A = this chain, B = another copy of it.
Amino acid sequence: MSLNDCGRHNRFLRALRRLPVDTTPIWVMRQAGRYLPEYRASRQRAGSFMNLCRSPEMACEVTLQPINRFELDAAILFSDILTIPDAMGLGLEFIEGEGPRFARPLRTLESIAALGVPDPEVELRYVPDAVRLIRRELNNRVPLIGFAGSPWTLACYMVEGGPTERFAHIKGLMWDHPQALHQLLDVLTQSVKLYLEAQIRAGAQAVMLFDSWGGVLAPGDYREFSLPNLRQLAQSIDRGPDQVPIIIFSRGANGHLEALAQTGADALGIDWTVSLSEARARTGGRVALQGNLDPAAMYAAPESLRLQVDLLLRDYGSAPGHIFNLGHGITPDVNPEQMTVLVNAVHEFGKRQELLA
């Protein structure tokens, strides 16, 4: 695949490198997810969410479902950010209606000191295996994105043991035992590095770091406990001969866009609470931007949804380096027909934007 010709197989990677494209590329966070009836059928057949992740065949099947149904410009590996802590022995379960839970959350300094770095080709072998299979099945129709959770976000889940609104345990650790938290973040940084390198070797054509809980930190804490590990990853991951681009999505951390643009990442995911024109101004053309329609726009009438897409593309303007996405994952009760409306609107209006460039 050459970077010089354009079209569905290539416009996502070109936009990540801030090269001109024929129209704005689009993919959607959680595009392989519960809003799709074919996903729900696969999930049912697998018996559990983790069975879906652990079977390369099933992960491949659900990864391709949205690609076969919609004119999306990238596929994203079907998996979960918690595969790494699971491989570290914390005992991951997904409880219906509650989300992920660890049987053995980290609640002592000893349990942190005892953690090892999982070998992605051994304990997490099913992930590079899935990447290889998906690449073969995609057959270069669209590029494949690999991903991992950020060290801070993984640490939140591992210490809290599951979803939380209060972050009492992880922040208690942060303030009372900052060195222990740094030790945990270091092990996670090394684990994420090896994990993403394994995905890249297996064929991932871009990788994304999900810092889903970056936004719960006060600015000083963010600069100490999330940002440095993101920077270290962006600068140390071996990107292979194709120099695979790295996308960082630090949700709710819009106060830190300037700093994030200087981590070495090629692109930033942007949530919907900042405008793309402001994000562009604040990141100074250093990175591509991925986002950022309010996910609730998928509940609006088709004509309202099209209007929101139009406004968003006009706000971004005509510079290269925009990948359209929602500002957060697509929600399970969205009508799949709305994805067709969304994708068509982006490609239609994105083409016009390109003519304006």
Taking Cβ atoms with an 8 Å cutoff, the residues of A that contact B are: 166-169, 171-172, 175-176, 215-221, 252, 254-255, 272-275, 278, 294-297, 299-301, 304-305, 307-308, 311, 315, 327, 331, 333
Contacts and interface: CB of A to CB of B under 8 A. Distances in A.
B168 A299 contact: yes
A275 B168 contact: no
Closest 6 pairs between A and B when the two form their complex, measured CB to CB: A171-B296, A175-B300, A175-B304, A168-B299, A172-B299, A218-B272
A331 B254 CA distance: 25
Residue among A168, A216, A295 having the largest count of chain B Cβ atoms under 10 Å: A168
Contacts of A168: 296, 299, 331, 333
A294 B171 contact: yes
Query: Secondary structure at chain A's binding surface: helix, strand, loop or mixed?
Result: helix
A331 B166 CA distance: 8
A116 B220 CA distance: 47
B172 A273 contact: no
B273 A218 contact: yes
A302 to B, nearest CB: 10
A221 B297 CA distance: 12
A176 B300 contact: yes
Given A172-B300, A175-B301, A299-B171, A311 B273 contact: no
Contact of A217 (B166, B167, B255, B273): B273
Number of copies: 2
Given A171-B294, A299-B172, A331-B166, A218 B252 contact: no
A273 B215 contact: yes
Given A219-B274, A274-B219, A176 B333 contact: no
A317 to B, nearest CB: 15
Nearest to A301: B176
Nearest to A315: B220
A301 B178 CA distance: 12
Contacts of A297: 171, 175
Contacts of A327: 218
Given A166-B296, A175-B297, A219-B275, 18 more contacts: A166-B295, A166-B299, A166-B333, A167-B296, A168-B296, A168-B299, A169-B299, A171-B300, A172-B296, A172-B299, A217-B294, A218-B273, A218-B294, A218-B327, A219-B274, A252-B273, A254-B254, A255-B273
B175 A308 contact: yes
A51 to B, nearest CB: 27
A218 to B, nearest CB: 5
A304 B176 contact: yes
A252 B159 CA distance: 25
A182 to B, nearest CB: 15
B171 A311 contact: no
A35 to B, nearest CB: 12
Contact of A221 (B216, B294, B305, B331): B294
A307 B176 CA distance: 10
Contacts of A175: 297, 300-301, 304-305, 307-308
A300 B173 CA distance: 8
A89 B278 CA distance: 42
A280 B171 CA distance: 26
Contact of A219 (B176, B218, B273, B301): B273
